[in-house]
Chains A and B, each alone.
Chain A
Amino acid sequence: MRWIIFFIFLLVVLQIGALVYLVFQKRKRVKQEEARLNWQRQFQDELYDFATGEKREMPHIVLGNEDLVELELFAFTNLTETVSHQERIYQYVEAKLLPYYQVQIRHRRIDRRLNAYEAIAQFRLRPVAQELHQKLGKSISKEEKDVIVRTLVSIAPHLAIGEAKQVNEISFFGAVLAIGRSKDLTAWIEEFEQLTESFQMGVLQLIYDREETQYLELVRSKTTDAHPEIRKRALRALTRIGLEEDWKLYTPYLEDDTSWVEQMLALRFLENVAPKESVVYILPFVGSRSWWVRTAAFDALLACGGLEQLALVAKDHPDRYAKQKATERLAKEMKQHVVI
């Protein structure tokens, strides 16, 4: 019995200790809040003057207020597109915050480290690139690895591409976020065959997002890839950058037994290149069970000038949903015509 009482007593003591700690923390925070806010406002003005070149001296940072500085720097770099302003911010971070971030990336807390990586990427703090790269070889969590690779793409892309060739657990979304930091995809395209699957899919995704027509040959070659996901990404990219002659790459997918993804992509391609004679291929899909396919079918039908067929679907189609969707689209089209 005594051990139970002892255990409960211990719990009570621990909890009171935790309460006292939290009360002191809270009191400290509340007290500091106003002073910190005043300092932040003053720093905001000084930072603006420095970044825009109105003042040459770099604003001073009060120890312990680095988090507020970070907030202001993030806010400013997210707002400005002016290269000279951004460059001055990068210089400022390197001059004033490098030691701070060197400590932060070695911090025992993962949340602190993750925050630091994101700031390093945002402020292009290149001197820490090698140290970050070395971290990838150590035993760290998947989340941390993802963020480090993303950071490296921003500050040392060659190191990141090297990592993207090795076996890694980075997800497709993680890969897209990482590669997306590169303004120019050429370095990734050159090493494409050596990249892991996630990164190959990521590159194809970004070709699609950015409509990078110069990589058309690579995309065409990947539409027959053995890996179904890479194939789908390539077909998707082709819907945006493909030429009319690429239609033949899709025709096998418009048969009944193909997956809805390929059917949707074929329809998206038709929407993009819009050949009038393809209306006949599109019509069977307006009543598809898949929301994605039927939506793509209506988009493609309109893009290919199938207004007349749309009216027929609205009037006579046996599928109620297709009829309704056609009516909706038709009304929308008519409205646009009237406005014009």
Chain B
Amino acid sequence: MLSSETIQKIIEVLSWTVLIYMILVIIFYSSLYLISAQMVRKQRFRRKESSYLPLMRSLYTRPVSVLVPAYNEEYTIVTSIQALLALDYPEHEVIVINDGSSDGTMDELFKVYELEKELRFPRILIGSQPVKAVYRSRIDARLIVIDKENGGKADALNAGIDYSSYPYFCSLDADSILERDALLKVMKPIVESDEEVIATCGSIFLVNGCTIEGGEIVEIRTPKQRIVLMQMIEYFRAFLFGRLGLSRFNLLLIVSGAFGLFQKAIVVKAGGYKEGLVGEDMELVVRLHRYMKENDVNKRIEYVPSPVCWTQAPETMEVLRSQRTRWHRGLAETLWTHKRMIGNPRYGFVGSVSMLYFFLIELLGPIVELIGYFIIPLNLLVGTLNFEFGIVLLTVALLYGSLLSAGAVLLEEWTMHRFKNVKELIRLYLWSLTESFWYRPILVFFKLGGLIQFMTGRGQWGKMERQRLDEVVTEKTEEKTG
């Protein structure tokens, strides 16, 4: 048995480890925050229309294939396609890849878009599960539907790449809605850099609570359900200062699967999406970085904050758990696949900063946080540390979650003014302050579940419950499990 002195020593060491870790993380996030604030400040009053108009009229705006993998998306697919075909873009096609859906996804597509079979032999660049048939819409020839055997999202995207006609592709989730000029905005850095930028992504916002008509968001409202509200705040934090700050130094490791634009040639050279992983979007971006470093290709991956893709967030704790567990497992799988890059100076700042950040902060963060939750009561119980230290540890733990998120809400208001009125702004701010008390601990447990799944090799995709997008998305009830 351990002596009480040893136990006290262990608790003391753990307490200091947690404190130092959290302070370092806060410093890192605060630096990202300052960098992002500086970046958005420069563009805060920029007139949007005039800076994109030349691109819309330009001959140099590259044509894009929009790839939409769909698995059991009968409620959302029609509205999504409607919005995609109406995008403001000089030349684009929409390729829906039905990944062996067992619901009425194909029936909906046949009914609304009058699909007719088309004879197509793609040049197989990557390969996928067998394709049963390819259809083109009689209503709009830009819509192509690939009906294939189920093989997962990565496999569906690979099929889409093989069948796409254009040199750039945009991957989208079937339940997402893009703002009309979003594609144009993510293409801008590519054109303006004379194709030095090879991939871009925009912001993801939550559609829950908003009003949608004809595939377009007509009224933006903050959701009433607490669980969705907290996710909304989390998205602000992740996009507005996480991705923006990392993008500034070409350190972006995630181009969200919900909305990302890629140069097809380089993705094909890197081998396409990797099947069998749940975090295929992150894995692809890490592989692109790896490919570029190993082959001395000097290209960039950028995040553009203003184009927005709207997507549905889980509204029940069960679905949220499944999503976050999956995401964390995906992160672990990606980092494991490319473990030689972590902290490796051969891969430049991507290896020594970005990969290290994802490993130490994103992947291992939940473990340290979990220790943190137990360490304060333990200290009180054992009487190891003095009162002052306890106060510092507690405030740092609170700052770690709540104040950073609250800062993201303020940054969002400062730059985008998306909240309807003062009441909404204050409501979001106050809710963000509660993050450390309930939402963050819940996420820690979900993420740990993902880590366990990764280590034990178990786990599955889980099911996301969709609402129809073409109806007014309203709050049904106050969420039950928050």
Contacts and interface: CB of A to CB of B under 8 A. Distances in A.
Interface stretch (A16-24, A56-64, A86-94, A156-164): A16-24
A323 interface: yes
A22 B410 contact: yes
Give chain B's interface secondary structure class: helix
B294 to A, nearest CB: 23
A3 B427 CA distance: 31
Contact of B42 (A30, A74, A110, A171): A110
Contacts of A171: 192-194
A47 to B, nearest CB: 18
A11 B403 contact: yes
Contacts of B406: 15
A5 B45 CA distance: 36
B396 A324 contact: no
Contacts, number: 96
Contacts of B120: 324, 328
Contacts of A292: 167
A125 B123 CA distance: 53
Interface string A59-79: 000000000001000100000
Interface in A1-21: 1, 4-5, 8, 11-12, 15, 18-19
Contacts of A176: 60
A283 interface: no
A5 B410 contact: no
Interface string A177-212: 100000000000000000000000000000001000
B240 to A, nearest CB: 14
Contacts of B51: 114, 118
Given A22-B414, A115-B47, A30 B422 contact: yes
Interface residues of A, number: 41
Interface string A93-121: 00000000000000001111011001000
A4 B23 CA distance: 9
A240 to B, nearest CB: 12
Nearest to B395: A8
Contacts of B425: 22-23, 26
Nearest to B120: A324
A19 B42 contact: no
Nearest to B406: A15
Interface in A110-140: 110-112, 114-115, 118, 122
Contacts of B192: 171, 173-174
Contact of B43 (A111, A173, A209, A291): A111
B71 interface: no
B123 A4 contact: no
B119 interface: yes
Interface stretch (B273-281, B342-350, B386-394): B386-394
Contacts of B395: 4-5, 8
A336 to B, nearest CB: 14
Most buried by A among B46, B122, B167: B46
B45 A115 contact: yes
B434 interface: no
Contacts of A110: 42
Nearest to B412: A22
B44 interface: yes
A323 B123 CA distance: 11
A64 to B, nearest CB: 14
B21 to A, nearest CB: 14
A327 B134 CA distance: 15
B307 interface: no
B438 interface: no
Contact of A18 (B43, B166, B410): B410
B227 to A, nearest CB: 24
A276 interface: no
29 contacts: A4-B23, A4-B396, A8-B396, A11-B399, A15-B403, A18-B414, A19-B429, A22-B413, A22-B425, A26-B417, A26-B419, A26-B421, A26-B422, A29-B417, A109-B45, A110-B42, A111-B45, A111-B46, A112-B45, A118-B47, A122-B50, A320-B123, A321-B121, A321-B123, A323-B121, A327-B119, A328-B118, A328-B119, A328-B120
Interface of A: 1, 4-5, 8, 11-12, 15, 18-19, 22-23, 26-27, 29-30, 70, 74, 109-112, 114-115, 118, 122, 171-174, 176-177, 209, 289, 291-292, 320-321, 323-324, 327-328
Given A115-B47, A321-B123, 17 more contacts: A1-B389, A4-B395, A8-B399, A8-B403, A18-B410, A19-B426, A19-B429, A23-B422, A26-B413, A171-B192, A172-B194, A173-B60, A176-B60, A289-B123, A291-B166, A320-B123, A327-B119
Interface of B: 23, 42-47, 49-51, 54, 59-60, 118-123, 165-167, 191-194, 388-389, 391-392, 395-396, 399, 403, 406-407, 410, 413-414, 417, 419, 421-422, 425-426, 429
